[in-house]
Amino acid sequence: MIIKEKVIKYGENVDTDVIIPARYLNTSAEDELASHCFEDLDENFREKVKGHRVIVAGHNFGCGSSREHAPLSIKASGIKAIIAKSFARIFFRNAINIGLPVLVSPEAADFIKDGDELEIDLDKGKISDITGGRVFDIPPLPDFIQKIIDSGGYIKFTSMNIKKT
Amino acid sequence: MEGKKRPQTMAQKILAAHCGKEYVEEGQIINAEVDLVLGNDITMPLAIKEFKKTGAGKVFDRDRVVIVPDHFTPNKDIKSALQCKVIREFAHEYGISNYFEVGRMGIEHALLPELGLVGPGDLIIGADSHTCTYGALGSASTGVGSTDVAVAMATGKLWFMVPKTVRFIYEGSLGPWISGKDLILYTIGLIGVDGALYKSMEFTGPVIKRLSMDSRLTMSNMAIEAGGKFGIIETDDITLEYLKPRYKGEYRIFHSDIDAPFEKEYRIDCSSLKLQVAMPHLPSNTAEAGQLKDIKIDQVVIGSCTNGRIEDLKMAAGILKGRKVHSRVRVIVIPATQGIYLDALKQGLLEIFIEAGCAVSTPTCGPCLGGHMGVLAEGERSVSTTNRNFVGRMGHPKSEVYLSGPAVAAASAIAGRIAVPGEVI
Ligand code: SF4
């Protein structure tokens, strides 16, 4: 899959409380969650996401709570992928489980600037910064995780296996 | 290597035991059988939705799924009530034996150890990041997402990456009023909020060997605040004494081999350790409480899965006894479970709190996540025994949370600013 989108750039330790504040967690409706995504970090996110659909950030993206509402609200906002120097563990597995591409590349996360246009080739594992004129390789994921992604998420992967047995 | 076993950490051994292997390698991805699956009123509705999509029809074991409505309960509004209704009806329909209704419940991570639902050698997952708390009982226990819980409910299994282990050796002895919270805040300050990302943190050393179970639970609870996957403490006599009246499961006691492949070791001398506070807006932003005397406060919260246990309430009551809460401060005390609430009542602690001018609440997460029961207004500042002080965590994005242990919280309540017990007693 190829993703061609512009970038919204954030800093270090973006936590789940700013991705989706707990005060909105009394629902699991995706659209409603999306309408509050990043509201405590960036009041212009709702506007920006109309034309910028890749997030690039620093270390420990998604730290804090286990709320799957965080990657869900990002995905439902229209974001196609997140590139970070590193991800918090639970956020990383949640994103994979729901089929939101999360790419670890400290070099790319350093180099790419807010507003840059990117072309991400998920199959080949390449991030091209068209604006900045550089290409970054992303290391392949472990087999088992790739299988989950290829199945379209952990639930589809599981239901296929349940049917088989 | 023939005949000689490869050395392993506790984390490796527990994970290996749950996927039918003698040995697992760090970094290896395994599909392991879990002993217990936990969810709450925020994460479980989503897990139920996904569980139904798997086509499993029933949960893998109705006695091994635990559902606790604790975050927005007693229901704070109509939407929360609806979420709680979803989980209550699911529990009923699927015959979940460990569902805990308001009046019988408590904050999940205080409740599960108290009821003996978790024990040594268990592999436990929960759709709540502080599931790492049970590491204090010698288990491998970690927070996951709702989809993970859905899959585990359907199959009894989940994928794990075998983590590397970082060991923390606490030496010396603790000064007065210092508790597990000070040890863990200091540790997070030392290594940062991603200092143990993906790692198993193992807490050990002479200080830990003497540390109470309540303080150990506080330490393991906050492993996630350093990015940790597990926060493990070896099972010893203190653990066994705690487990004896409550835990019915099988005791599988594991120890890390002396020559296990620890990635790193920290030695922390505790003899000079002072009472700690984490300033806004990161748990790693630590300072000595005694150096923050100019910081005026509006609220104090004593409770949560981190510090809502009986030892914490006793420590706070010891300071508040016969004294009054400062005139411009509101104090909210929340015993973490009904059991602790009753204990506090019998021991006369609730009387002390109420006479001092504190509000005492039924168990709930409430203000810890800015849910209800003590949400902050713009510009307000709280000292809190909870575990996170991110932007907007306890209310308005322009409010502030200072994390501390119960001693600093109680002293600050009296002083109206950040204070240590010596200043008020
Ligand atoms: S008390 Fe706070 S940290 Fe603990 S489970 Fe509840 S919301 Fe989470």
Specify the DSSP class assigned to residue A23.
G
Query: For residue B288, how many other CB atoms are within 10 A of its CB?
Result: 14
Instruction: For ligand 1, pick from B111, B334, B386 the residue to mutate: most ligand atoms within 8 Å of CB.
Output: B386
DSSP state string for B105-154: -B-HHHHHHHTT---TT-EEEESSGGGGGGGGGT-EEEE--HHHHHHHHH
Average the pLDDT over B367-392 and give the result.
97
B260 in a domain, yes or no? yes
For residues B168 and B264, the answer to whether their CB atoms sit within 8 Å is no
Choose among A13, A17, A93: nearest Cβ to B193.
A13
Ligand 1 contact via B71 beta carbon (within 6 Å): yes
B352 in a domain, yes or no? yes
If asked whether residues B374 and B253 sit together in one domain, one would say no
Residue B139 has which token pair?
């288990």
Q: What is the pLDDT of residues B32-71, one digit of tens each?
A: 999 999 999 999 999 999 999 999 999 999 999 999 999 9
Q: Tell whether the model's pLDDT for residue B1 goes beyond 50.
A: no
The pLDDT of residue A165: 67
Specify the DSSP class assigned to residue A142.
P
The pLDDT of residue A94: 96
Q: How far apart are CA B215 and CA B294, in angstroms?
A: 28
Which of A33, A63, A75, A102 is best to mutate for the B interface (most B CBs within 10 A)?
A63
Contact flag A21-B145 (C-beta cutoff 8 Å)? no
The pLDDT of residue B191: 98
The pLDDT of residue A149: 85
- The residues near A100 (Cβ < 8 Å, ≥ 6 apart) are A71, A74, A75, A79, A81, A82
Q: Tell whether the model's pLDDT for residue B374 goes beyond 60.
A: yes
- Give the three-class secondary structure for B326: coil
Indicate the helix (H) or strand (E) that contains A7: strand A2-9
Q: What is the pLDDT of residues A46-55, one digit of tens each?
A: 999 999 999 9
Q: How far apart are CA B401 and CA B71, in angstroms?
A: 18
A146 CB near a chain B CB, below 8 Å?
no
Rounded alpha-carbon distances, angstroms, from residue B305 to A98, B1, B105, B234, B336? 28, 45, 13, 21, 6
Query: For residue B206, how many other CB atoms are within 10 A of its CB?
Result: 13
To the nearest whole Å, the CA of B6 is away from the closest chain A CA by 24
- Burial label, B5 (beta-carbon count in 10 A; 0-12, 13-18, 19+): exposed
Q: What is the pLDDT of residues A103-143, one digit of tens each?
A: 999 999 999 999 999 999 998 999 999 999 999 999 888 88
Q: Tell whether the model's pLDDT for residue A89 goes beyond 70.
A: yes
Looking at 3.30.200.20, 3.20.20.70, 3.20.19.10, 3.30.360.10, the CATH number of the domain A2-164 comes to 3.20.19.10
Q: Which of A143, A138, A99 is nearest to A118 (CA)?
A: A138
The pLDDT of residue B5: 85
If asked whether residues B168 and B107 sit together in one domain, one would say yes
Counted residue by residue, chain B has a size of 425
**Domain boundaries, position B415:** 276-423
Counted domains in chain B:
2
Identify the CATH number of the domain in which residue B32 sits: 3.30.499.10
Contact flag A66-B154 (C-beta cutoff 8 Å)? no
Residue type for position B207 = V
Beta bridge partners of A84: A57, A104
B197 in a domain, yes or no? yes
Q: What is the pLDDT of residues A148-163, one digit of tens each?
A: 988 989 999 999 988 8
What are the helix (H) ranges across B332-422? Answer: 338-346, 349-356, 406-415
A104 CB near a chain B CB, below 8 Å?
no
Report pTM. 0.96
Q: Which of B10, B227, B234 is nearest to B129 (CA)?
A: B227
Average the pLDDT over B143-151 and give the result.
97
If asked whether residues B198 and B211 sit together in one domain, one would say yes
Beta bridge partners of B302: B333
The pLDDT of residue A143: 87
> Of B241, B273, B305, which residue is a domain's last?
B273
Choose among B31, B147, B370: nearest Cβ to A97.
B147
Q: Which of A140-144, B371-375, B409-413 has the lowest mean pLDDT?
A: A140-144
Q: Tell whether the model's pLDDT for residue B4 goes beyond 90.
A: no
Q: Tell whether the model's pLDDT for residue B399 goes beyond 50.
A: yes
Q: Which of B402, B363, B358 is nearest to B380 (CA)?
A: B402
Rounded alpha-carbon distances, angstroms, from residue B183 to B177, B201, B216? 12, 13, 10
Average the pLDDT over B314-330 and give the result.
98
B2 in a domain, yes or no? no
The ipTM assigned to this model is 0.91
- The residues near A164 (Cβ < 8 Å, ≥ 6 apart) are none
Q: How far apart are CA B68 and CA B106, in angstroms?
A: 8
Domain ranges of chain A: 2-164
B1 in a domain, yes or no? no
The mean predicted confidence, pLDDT, of chain B is 97
Q: How far apart are CA B119 and CA A103, in angstroms?
A: 36
Q: Which of B2-11, B194-203, B335-344, B365-374 has the lowest mean pLDDT?
A: B2-11
If asked whether residues B313 and B393 sit together in one domain, one would say yes
If asked whether residues B132 and B234 sit together in one domain, one would say yes
- Burial label, B317 (beta-carbon count in 10 A; 0-12, 13-18, 19+): buried
Contact flag A88-B49 (C-beta cutoff 8 Å)? no
Chain A residues within an 8 Å CB radius of B193:
13, 60, 63
Ligand 1 contact via B305 beta carbon (within 6 Å): yes
User: Among residues of chain B, what percentage have pLDDT more than 70?
Assistant: 99
B142 in a domain, yes or no? yes
Average the pLDDT over B134-142 and give the result.
98
Specify the DSSP class assigned to residue A27.
-
Specify the residue for token string 């479970």.
B337
If asked whether residues B40 and B172 sit together in one domain, one would say yes
Indicate the helix (H) or strand (E) that contains B310: helix B310-320
If asked whether residues B84 and B205 sit together in one domain, one would say yes
Q: Tell whether the model's pLDDT for residue B2 goes beyond 50.
A: no
The mean predicted confidence, pLDDT, of chain A is 94
- Give the three-class secondary structure for A46: helix
B334 CB near a chain A CB, below 8 Å?
no
Indicate the helix (H) or strand (E) that contains A113: none
Contact flag B145-A97 (C-beta cutoff 8 Å)? yes
Specify the residue for token string 């002390």.
B352
Under the banding of pLDDT at 50, 70 and 90, the label for residue A164 is confident
